[in-house]
Amino acid sequence: MAYDTEALVREALDAGFSSAGELNVRALVFMPEVREMCSADRCHQYNKNWRCPPGCGSIEEAAERAAQYSYGIIVQTTGHMDDDFDIDTINATSEKHRDSFAALVGGVRLRYPDMLPMGAGTCAKCEKCTYPDAPCRFPEQAISSMEAYGLWVSKVCELSGIPYYYGKLTLTYTSCYLLK
Ligand code: SF4
């Protein structure tokens, strides 16, 4: 199926992202090394959420799911910090990215119900995830991160011709969605 990249990018920018572009699906390489970084638990979400490893399933299952898709869009939100410890900007940028992605996914899903979103960070739909005591409350809406899929995000951006780093004192959150 052919997609109108220009229109999809415009839709992403209208949703509040600072940049967007077509994802090179050949850059979707699912790396066990990224999963190993998850298990180091630097983000403190490993084994705590249905959409993070190991609860989100194996990397083979992730690759199999993504293999059904042939097109994608990368979206980014860049924040400009006053210094390396500008936690207010870090939090505000993260929140803006999450809100923009939720709005974008909601809109795209109306036209493409089987689209596959991959976010930034853990699923934060519920105040407290039910993992591991009860099933996910919203399995159709819960979103795994690109890293949880085993993707090396900076590499995916690079191979898609989209910057990952926007200069000193910037931070950028990156997500994507795939279409069949
Ligand atoms: S929707 Fe709720 S229960 Fe499901 S993964 Fe997200 S936070 Fe956890």
Q: Tens digit of pLDDT for each residue in 118-136?
A: 999 999 999 999 999 999 9
Hey, whose CA ends up nearest to atom 8 of ligand 1? 129
Hey, whose CA ends up nearest to atom 4 of ligand 1? 136
Instruction: Kindly report, residue by residue over 20-51, the tens digit of the pLDDT.
Output: 999 999 999 999 999 988 888 888 889 999 99
Average pLDDT estimate for 91-108: 96
CA 117, CA 101: separation in Å to the nearest integer?
Answer: 9
First to last CA, the chain: 7
Name residue 41's beta-bridge partners.
none
| Stated pTM of the model | 0.94
Q: Does 138 have pLDDT greater than 80?
A: yes
Q: Does 1 have pLDDT greater than 90?
A: no
Calculate Rg over the CA atoms of the chain: 16
| Ligand 1 pocket test target in 46, 48, 51 with most atoms within 8 Å of CB | 51
Hey, whose CA ends up nearest to atom 2 of ligand 1? 126
Q: Does 164 have pLDDT greater than 80?
A: yes
pLDDT mean across residues, the chain: 95
Average pLDDT estimate for 74-91: 96
Phi, psi of 77 (to 5 degrees): -125, 120
| Ligand 1 pocket test target in 46, 47, 122, 126 with most atoms within 8 Å of CB | 126
Single-letter amino acid, residue 34: V
Q: Is the peptide bond prior to 113 cis by the omega test (within 30 degrees of 0)?
A: no
CA 111, CA 99: separation in Å to the nearest integer?
Answer: 19
Q: Residue 176's pLDDT band (boundaries 50, 70, 90)?
A: very high
